[in-house]
Amino acid sequence: MSFYDATVPALLQILGSLTGILNKAEAHCSAKKIAPEVMLGARLYPDMFPFSKQIQLVSDFAAKGCARLTHSELPSMPDTEKSFEELRQRLAKTIDYVKAFKPAQFEGADTKDVTFPAGPDRTMTLKGQSYLNNVAFPNFYFHAATAYDILRHNGVEIGKRDFLGVN
């Protein structure tokens, strides 16, 4: 399996599933007369990021992960989304960005150095394979699962098939 095949399809699957989950969350808010900003600001615990930030971080780890692995320019994505529609647009932009990568761009990326922020005033460098397996994927899936968990905790009728994008 190529490094591209191990990376891009996995990211696209979850980015697509989150788009469907956003649709269900918005429909839930409408049906239950819940103000959208309440769901968008929902958290599992007070010191955790809200739902909207979880989606933004999923988007960041997908797009910036691909950029770092291919030594491409990092995309600029300010965190300004305040509605379900704006979050859907962000996911759509991220999907288009990730889809634009070609397999050749990932050739040798598993052994190339990847430097990334590791805190507010620190960077870290890992080989591409280690970066993908130990940083990009774990963070991507953590924030995707947390976004799912926030919605599930707040009564949105979604399940594992929704998270996996196979509904």
Helix (H), strand (E) counts: the chain = 7, 2
Sites in the chain below the pLDDT cut of 50: none
Mean of pLDDT over the chain = 97
Q: Which helix (H) or strand (E) holds 83?
A: none
Residue 132 token pair: 């993908």
In the chain, the largest separation of any two C-alpha atoms, in whole Å, equals 51
Phi-psi region of 119 (alpha: psi -120 to 50; beta: other; left: phi over 0): left
Q: Give the phi and the psi of residue 124 in degrees, each rounded to 5.
A: -140, 150
Residue 43: what pLDDT?
Answer: 98
Q: pLDDT value at position 117?
A: 94
Q: Tell me the DSSP string of 30-52.
A: HHHT--HHHHHT--SSTTSPPHH
pLDDT of residue 75: 95
Q: Which two tokens stand for residue 37?
A: 């900003």
Q: How many CA atoms lie within 13 A of 39 on its CB side?
A: 29
The confidence score (pLDDT) of residue 167 equals 77
- Confidence at residue 14, expressed as pLDDT on a 0 to 100 scale: 98
